[in-house]
Amino acid sequence: MNQSKPPESGYRSRMRTSTKRLFRWHGWWAAATLLMCFGPGFLWHRALGLTLLAVGLDVAVGVGMILATKKFIMELDELQRKIFLNALGIAVGVGLIVGVPWTVMDAYHVIHSHALHANFGLLVVLQGLTFLATLLYGTWRYR
């Protein structure tokens, strides 16, 4: 029986670094989005130049976040990548099959309740929750 330890590849430490980088970029993007949403009203009284600057900053940080997410996905191992991409695919699909009919119904005044009017923010929340639920299910399924 060979009890010597196998060689180590450092997958766990690499994933720790990658996950921290992903959270950092998501945090920066959330901060930039908050600044873009509330800055014009509360900080610079709708000054156009500053608002455009905030939008530019949000887009730039968003691009960084996308690249960090891409790098994170590429560094996942094959099973975790499968689980992550499955969750991502289902979240995008749910966003489409809910979002498009919702917008069409709103455009043709099928929806009368003010609370149910097409709302992009709600759609993003729905996609986020779908992604989270599918990711948890995938992790549980292959546990």
Partner 1 sequence: MKNRLKVLRAERDWTQAQLADALDVSRQTINAIETGKFDPSLPLAFRAARLFGLRIEEIFHDQDSAGCKNSDRVAD
* Residue 127 CB burial class (10 angstroms; 0-12, 13-18, ≥19): buried
**Which one, of 37, 122, 38, lies nearest residue 113 by Cα?**
122
Closest CB to partner 1 among 75 and 106? 75
Closest CB to partner 1 among 6 and 121? 6
Interface residues toward partner 1, by CB under 8 A: 1-12, 15, 77-80, 82, 139, 141-143
| CB of 138 vs partner 1, minimal distance in Å | 10
The Cα 99–Cα 2 span in angstroms is 58
| CB of 69 vs partner 1, minimal distance in Å | 18
| CB of 8 vs partner 1, minimal distance in Å | 5
